[in-house]
Each structure stands twice: as C-alpha cells, then as structure tokens.
Amino acid sequence: MDYKTLLKTGLLASTLMASLPVLAETTLGISLQLPLKHHLGQNLVDFKKEVEEKSGGDIKIKIYPSAQLFKDSEVHQAVSSGAIEMGVMSLSQLAGTIPAVDVFYVPFMFPSQDKVEAATRPDSSVRKLLDEAILETGTRPLWWQAYGGVALLSKKKPVQHPEDMEGMKVRVFGKTLGEFVKAVGGAPTSMAGSEQFLAYQRGTVDAGMTGVSAVGPRKLYQVMDYLTLTNHADIEFLTVINEKTWASLSTDNQKVISDAARKVEVQLRNKIKQIESDAIADAEKHMQVIHLDENDITEWRKATTSVKQSYLDNSGPLGAKVIQAAENL
C-alpha cells in the first residue's frame, strides 16, 4: 500500500472516529443524612448496584452518608438548585413549602402498618396528591423509603401518659409533631436528626421524637434512658432528583432509574416490620422500652385530638384532599 493510500485510509479513520458519539458516563451524587449501615443507607446501596448493573456502567451513583454535604433541612434546596443531583430527605422537610405532607404526623391517622402501606403505594390517592405537589418544586420524587413509626425518647423520667410530657422541652422534626407536643403541655424544639445526639447529651432538650430504627445507628441509647413506643405517627423519607438532571437523561436511563427505584422501594417496605422489631430488641439491651397498652393509646388519642384541626388549618385545600384520601383508605 502506497503513501497516498495510507494517508487516505488514515484520514478516513480519523473522520469516522470524529463522527462517532462520545459515550461519557453520568455520575449522580446522593446526599444521605444517616450512616450507610442504617437501613436507608443500605437501600441506597441496593439502588446503586441495580442502576450501575442495569445501565451497563453508563450511570455511576456516588453516596455521601452521615450528612457529609447537607443537613436534612438543606437537602431539598440543594437538589432543587442543582448543588447535588439527588438527595434523601424526610418528607417533613417539605412542610414549609407543602404543609400537606405532614399528614403522616397527624396523630394516629395511620394506626397500622397496613394503612401506612396503603397510603404510600405509588398508585394511592394520598401519594399521588403529594408527589404531584413535590414535582412542582423542581425536584422529582423517585421513591419513598419506609422509616417506621415515631417513638419518644426521654432521659430523666419515662413517658407513658400524656401528662408525663408536661413542661418538657422536646425535639421534633415538623410543625405537626410540634402541635402534638403542645397539646400535651410540652415545648417543641425543631432540629435535624443529625443534631439529636448532642442535644440529648447536653440536656438542650428533655425528650425527643425519632424513629425506632435510628436509635441504634445514631447511638441515642448512650444519651437517653427510656424509649416509649407510641407509634402515633409514621416517618417517611424519599429520594428526589433534580428535575433538570432527570430531563437530561436518556429515556433508557430514566427507565433504568425508575425501575431500580421501584424495586428497592418494595424491598424496603417489605422489610420494615422486621427492621423495627430488631431495632426494638436491640434498644432493650441498652435502655428501658415502654410498650403502651390500649388504654394508654386511648389517653394519647384524646389528648391530641386538636392536632388534626391544626393540620387542616395550616395545609389548606390540598391538606383537606389528602386527609379525605387517607380516611377513605
């Protein structure tokens, strides 16, 4: 082959190479408030494996656990602004923008796991109403993550009856939970989950609300003595993605992410009962766990009946629709 032929062949190859699309992998960062060993962290690990495998490595997922980048209260703004592509946040963090999300904190609105499951299914009226409202904020809900029921932590004395909370400063993580505390004579103090340990250790608050599953990973048993299983509210987290980031993905990659999200959501929802049972058993090794009977629950229900109306007053027409949907389940 002569020089001219080689030259033409080389030029042709160069031209062909230049015309081929450049396949660059997409990296999506996810901010997480909890340690990676927490069940929400493990849920993200499952999501990461599924996406990276099904996308053939086209999408890489980078998880930033333990509030390395953003506190729970900062995640929504960080994702909607594009400071990070994705984030895990408690549903209650949207209450300032969408007060109706606090429906899960209306006392005893979802008294059983079955009712929680019915309300959080993607096709439920409750979930659809809230997902549509969230999408309007510039973040797209990918999947909801079961966290478990709300419990009470206390240090100097156990809390079994509503009057036991009178005069206590109580850590909460939402306006409606704050109304619950006020209804029984306590003083609510809102703070992020990552700030709990120091607040309890320093005595900044006397008691606190948290999910049972957080007691072990956050080592709250080291700074609190009692855990009361009221289960008066349900904690939901969700993973959101920046809407512009979502729109920039190919249709195929959107499907990979959506399918993975649905798969890990179902997996976690099916595990939550056992996760909570294991968490309670672990907590009993370190602190006194108080189980309420039916009479105790009746007392708490009566003492906090005003909270539902407070929710309705605060959440407007959307809140009324969500309550109606919840009561129709």
What is the CA 170 to chain-centroid distance, rounded?
21
Handedness of CA 56, 31, 220, 180 (dihedral sign): negative
Please enumerate in sequence order all residues whose Cβ is within 8 A of that of 278, keeping only pairs 6 or more positions apart, or say none: none
**Closest by alpha carbon to 141, among 194, 101, 88, 199?**
88
Residue reference for tokens 């629950």? 297
Residue pLDDT tens, the chain, 329 long = 443 443 344 444 444 444 444 446 899 999 999 889 889 999 999 999 999 999 999 999 999 999 999 988 899 999 999 999 999 999 988 999 999 999 999 999 998 889 999 999 999 999 999 999 999 999 999 999 999 999 999 998 999 999 999 999 999 988 899 999 999 999 999 988 889 999 999 999 999 999 998 899 889 999 999 999 998 999 999 999 999 999 999 999 999 999 999 999 999 999 999 999 999 999 999 999 999 999 999 999 999 999 999 999 999 999 999 999 999 98
Q: What is the pLDDT of residue 24?
A: 62
**Closest by alpha carbon to 200, among 185, 210, 211?**
210
Are the C-beta atoms of residues 258 and 182 closer than 8 Å to each other?
no
Are the C-beta atoms of residues 193 and 93 closer than 8 Å to each other?
no
Are the C-beta atoms of residues 154 and 209 closer than 8 Å to each other?
no
Kindly state the tokens that stand for 197: 């340990």
Q: What is the pLDDT of residue 22?
A: 41
Are the C-beta atoms of residues 328 and 317 closer than 8 Å to each other?
no
C-alpha dist (Å) from residue 138 to 61, 117, 133, 143, 242: 21, 26, 10, 16, 6
Largest CA distance in the chain: 97
Please name every residue paired with 152 in a beta bridge, in sequence order, or none if there are none: 209, 228
Q: What is the pLDDT of residue 173?
A: 87
What pLDDT digit, counting tens, does each position of 218-267 carry? 899 999 999 999 989 999 999 999 999 999 999 999 999 999 999 999 99
Distance between CA atoms of 249 and 246, rounded to whole angstroms?
Answer: 6
189 SS3 class: strand
Handedness of CA 204, 205, 211, 214 (dihedral sign): positive
Q: What is the pLDDT of residue 4?
A: 44
Are the C-beta atoms of residues 139 and 230 closer than 8 Å to each other?
no
The DSSP output letter for 20 is S
Length of the chain: 329
Residue reference for tokens 């009962």? 273
Distance between CA atoms of 170 and 299, rounded to whole angstroms?
Answer: 19
Q: SS3 for 121-178, per residue?
A: CCCCHHHHHHHHHHHCCCEEEEEEEEEEEEEEEECCCCCCCHHHHCCCEEEECCHHHH
